[in-house]
């Protein structure tokens, strides 16, 4: 097999391609997903509300939300310095001084309490060895009672019988978006060997175990799922 480009969120060349070759090209209905997230958060987030953005690297969700509301404030957390730099470039003009970015994981975020939180396209990268549960618990305990939480994840159960078909669809969608075949092949290979993706039911069980009072599915696009949960 030829060497395939390995994607990581710390290599500047990858990060540079993130806005064009990242979520908008790989995640079906990405623009609508962000719009739905904004509408759902607005149901319970006050005008001056403070939102914790977990995995804020790249800045796409913060840019959208900072444009949708001119008064929400954002604390973004991400372990990748390169992705945080990109978030600053992407979301900075819309968010201005309403955006604080911190390098780290949720446990490194301020205690809050926050009025809302998001975790978009991040959970799939976190091992299910207690890491996913810890992440959700750390978000949950930083939220005010009843506050909304948007969780979006690619749910590729590694044990599913139709896993190869789902990976093929993932690749076909990205190619149809115009991503070059080598990049798509590398992304598919990463998914194939990735051991951190789980079935949707697993995320739902983890939301309950982490203490969220309610959750509902609001987004389903190929292997992606989005939930609105309340603390």
Task: Enumerate binding residues for ligand SAM (CB under 6 A).
Answer: 9, 23, 54-55, 57-58, 60-61, 77-80, 83, 105, 120-122, 125-126, 135
| Cα–Cα distance for residue pair 63/56, rounded to 1 Å | 10
Beta strand pairing call for 224-230 and 214-221: antiparallel
d(CA 101, CA 150): 19
Q: Closer CB to ligand SAM, residue 139 or residue 147?
A: 139
Q: Which is nearer to ligand SAM, 121 or 191 (CB)?
A: 121
Q: Which residue is nearest to ligand SAM (CB)?
A: 57
Least CB distance from residue 48 to ligand SAM, whole Å? 23
CB of 14 to ligand SAM, least distance (A): 10
Dihedrals phi, psi of 179, to nearest 5 degrees: -70, 140
**By three-state DSSP, how is residue 136 classified?**
helix
Beta carbon nearer to ligand SAM, 78 or 115: 78
Give dist(CA 147, CA 144) in Å, integer.
Answer: 5
What is the smallest separation between the CB atom of 86 and ligand SAM, expressed in angstroms?
A: 8
**Alpha-carbon distance 155 to 4, whole Å?**
23
Which position has the token pair 């008064």?
Answer: 71
Nearer CB in complex with ligand SAM: 47/89: 89
From the CB of 161, what's the least distance to ligand SAM, in Å? 26
> Which lies closer to ligand SAM via its Cβ, residue 16 or residue 48?
16
Q: How far is the CB of 187 from ligand SAM (least distance, A)?
A: 11
Contacts (Cβ under 8 Å, ≥6 apart) of 194:
124, 156, 158
């Amino acid at each position: 097999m030829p060497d395939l480009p390995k994607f990581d969120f710390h290599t500047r060349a990858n990060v540079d391609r993130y806005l064009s070759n990242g979520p908008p090209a790989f995640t079906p209905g990405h623009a609508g997903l962000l719009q739905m997230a904004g509408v759902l958060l607005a149901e319970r987030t006050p005008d001056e509300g403070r939102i914790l953005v977990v995995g804020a690297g790249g800045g796409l969700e913060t840019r959208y939300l900072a444009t949708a509301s001119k008064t929400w404030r954002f604390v973004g957390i991400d372990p990748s310095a390169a992705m945080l730099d990109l978030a600053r470039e992407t979301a900075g003009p819309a968010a201005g001084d309403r955006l604080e970015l911190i390098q780290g994981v949720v446990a490194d975020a301020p205690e809050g309490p926050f009025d809302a939180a998001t975790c978009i396209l991040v959970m799939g990268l976190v091992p299910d060895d207690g890491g996913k549960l810890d992440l959700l618990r750390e978000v949950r305990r930083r939220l005010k009672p009843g506050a909304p939480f948007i969780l979006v994840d690619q749910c590729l159960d590694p044990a599913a019988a139709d896993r190869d078909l789902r990976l093929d669809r993932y690749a076909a969608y990205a190619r149809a978006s115009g991503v070059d075949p080598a990049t798509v092949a590398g992304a598919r290979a990463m998914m194939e060997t990735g051991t951190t993706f789980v079935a949707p039911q697993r995320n739902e069980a983890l939301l309950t175990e982490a203490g969220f009072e309610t959750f509902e599915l609001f987004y389903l696009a190929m292997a992606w799922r989005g939930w609105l949960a309340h603390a």
